[in-house]
A = this chain, B = another copy of it.
Amino acid sequence: MADLVGNLLVAQSGGPTCVINSSLAGVIKEAGKHEVIEEIYGGANGILGILNEELIDINDERSKTIEGLRSTPAAALGTCRYKVDFKKKPEKAAKDMDRLFEVFQAHNIRYFFYIGGNDSQDTSHKIHEEAVKRAYDIRVIGVPKTIDNDLPHTDNCPGYGSVIKYNATTVMEVGIDVASMATDDGSCCIIEAMGRSAGWIAAGTVLAKRGVPANPPHIILLPEFPFEEEKFLAKVKETVDAYKYCIVVVGEGIKYPNGEEVGADKARLDSFGHPVLAGAAEKLKQIVQGKLNTKTRTVLLGYAQRAAEHCASLTDANNAFACGEAAVRAAVEGQSGLMVKIVREAQSNGSVKWSTGLQPLADIANVEHFIPREWVSEDGFLPNEKFVEYARPLIEGEVKVPMEAGLPKYTTLDQNRVAKTLPPRA
């Protein structure tokens, strides 16, 4: 394979995580080792910024800043939810593709790395195919990222280990708080976790049990299982009777057997006439208080859970960094159209050896990976020891965040823009 000399473009996409910047740091650090890579650019706000020729010059950033990215949450380059949608908007997508390659050409981009989830891997795949079609010499490698942990073929997705470490910690802390207040009246606390269709995030809080059945969480409601109110209430009652309190974790996307979201309140419409999404935890609280008359409080972690760098998993951050490095190595070696994946190798001493592999993007795009049914208890209320065996190694180790005056010290890029050479996007 002949050396491909040119510039590198890396971008971040979709919802941020605690470790999406670790992957970025991995790409940048590895890129610095290869002479074939001339300039290192970042796309501002993902593909959206690239379409607008908004490129960030990373060459000027100090190495201390790059190292700081390894303990900084959110997307340092900015991110977007923009989708190049060939299925629903083929004309617009084709126009976007033309523009992307204009930008690539104008800035001699020969290496492209897109750090993201399902949609982003799909975009990377399309760009790779398009490059082949156009005979434009570029190497495209996808870097996995999503707290949802729903990408196939990779053992886990960077971002997932950190979100479940923080959420499990929170469940432990809320659990002993509620337990210490528990009197004969009984009480319930419902913690809502992200995850609209796959329950990986909610499931991960089972680690807070640390193998002790009496420990919280007592019930985990996964979006994969239809929500049955009577069964749920019986389980809450049984738990409160046994322990005087009950901690429930609910994946935000749980649905009634008829497919309707539990969090949607059909009785109230917003100013556009859409049902108000009050949230699953809020709705469950009303159900528990109304039907069992048990005092109930809620916790809605929302964005806090994916941004909680102060409680991030070192294993997760290291894997994310390794994915960034591996992407660059693969590209320099001549590969394209692949996504880096994380590979687990169980050791005889019970620990895990992590490495990376490569998977064709064609195998990834738009395939959603769900929790195996046999990893969840028969009644569907708790992931079992198979799940725990899978998830436990992902939360090991703590990212050391530098502190200043009692608060984390996070890094920002200077975000110096590369001079535009093209007319504005039409």
Contact A169 B408 (CB under 8 A): yes
Contact A180 B300 (CB under 8 A): no
Stretch at the interface among A90-98, A305-313, A317-325, A334-342: A305-313
Contact A392 B410 (CB under 8 A): no
Q: How far is the CA of A149 from the CA of B170 in the complex (A)?
A: 23
A275-302 interface code vs B (CB 8 A; 1 in, 0 out): 0101100100010011100000111111
- Least CB distance from A399 to B in Å reads 11
CB of A151 within 8 Å of the partner chain = no
Task: Enumerate chain B residues within 8 angstroms of A15, measured Cβ to Cβ.
Answer: 181
CB of A37 within 8 Å of the partner chain = no
Task: Enumerate chain B residues within 8 angstroms of A178, measured Cβ to Cβ.
Answer: 303
Q: How far is the CA of A191 from the CA of B300 in the complex (A)?
A: 10
Stretch at the interface among A59-67, A69-77, A120-128, A132-140: A69-77
Stretch at the interface among A225-233, A265-273, A418-426: A265-273
Q: How far is the CA of A403 from the CA of B74 in the complex (A)?
A: 25
Stretch at the interface among A78-86, A110-118, A254-262, A366-374: A78-86
CB of A222 within 8 Å of the partner chain = no
Closest to A393 in B: B406
Categorize the interface residue count of chain A.
Answer: 35 or more
CB of A45 within 8 Å of the partner chain = yes
Interface residues of A in 384-426 (CB under 8 A from B): 392, 395-398, 403, 405-408, 410, 412
CB of A34 within 8 Å of the partner chain = no
Task: Enumerate chain B residues within 8 angstroms of A105, measured Cβ to Cβ.
Answer: none
Q: How far is the CA of A18 from the CA of B219 in the complex (A)?
A: 25
Contact A282 B290 (CB under 8 A): no
- Least CB distance from A299 to B in Å reads 4
Interface residues of A in 1-27 (CB under 8 A from B): 12, 15-16
- Least CB distance from A335 to B in Å reads 29
CB of A102 within 8 Å of the partner chain = no
Q: How far is the CA of A310 from the CA of B312 in the complex (A)?
A: 11
A173-210 interface code vs B (CB 8 A; 1 in, 0 out): 11011111111000001010000000000000001101
- Least CB distance from A376 to B in Å reads 21
CB of A48 within 8 Å of the partner chain = yes
Closest to A49 in B: B183
- Least CB distance from A319 to B in Å reads 14
Contact A392 B408 (CB under 8 A): no
Interface residues of A in 34-69 (CB under 8 A from B): 45, 48
Contact B173 A310 (CB under 8 A): yes
Contacts A80-B183, A177-B16, A392-B406 given: A270-B290 contact, CB under 8 Å? yes
CB of A106 within 8 Å of the partner chain = no
CB of A168 within 8 Å of the partner chain = yes
- Least CB distance from A241 to B in Å reads 18
Task: Enumerate chain B residues within 8 angstroms of A234, measured Cβ to Cβ.
Answer: none
Q: How far is the CA of A79 from the CA of B253 in the complex (A)?
A: 35
Contact A189 B303 (CB under 8 A): yes
CB of A141 within 8 Å of the partner chain = no
CB of A242 within 8 Å of the partner chain = no
CB of A240 within 8 Å of the partner chain = no
Contact A403 B398 (CB under 8 A): yes
Interface residues of A in 158-179 (CB under 8 A from B): 165, 168-170, 172-174, 176-179
Contact B173 A73 (CB under 8 A): yes
Contact B189 A410 (CB under 8 A): no
Q: List 21 A-B contacts (CB under 8 A).
A: A16-B177, A45-B183, A75-B180, A79-B181, A165-B407, A168-B407, A172-B410, A176-B307, A176-B410, A177-B307, A178-B303, A210-B405, A270-B286, A271-B291, A278-B282, A297-B302, A299-B300, A313-B406, A392-B405, A397-B406, A398-B406
In order of increasing CB-CB distance, the 8 nearest A-B pairs are A395-B406, A173-B307, A300-B300, A177-B307, A271-B290, A299-B302, A74-B176, A74-B180
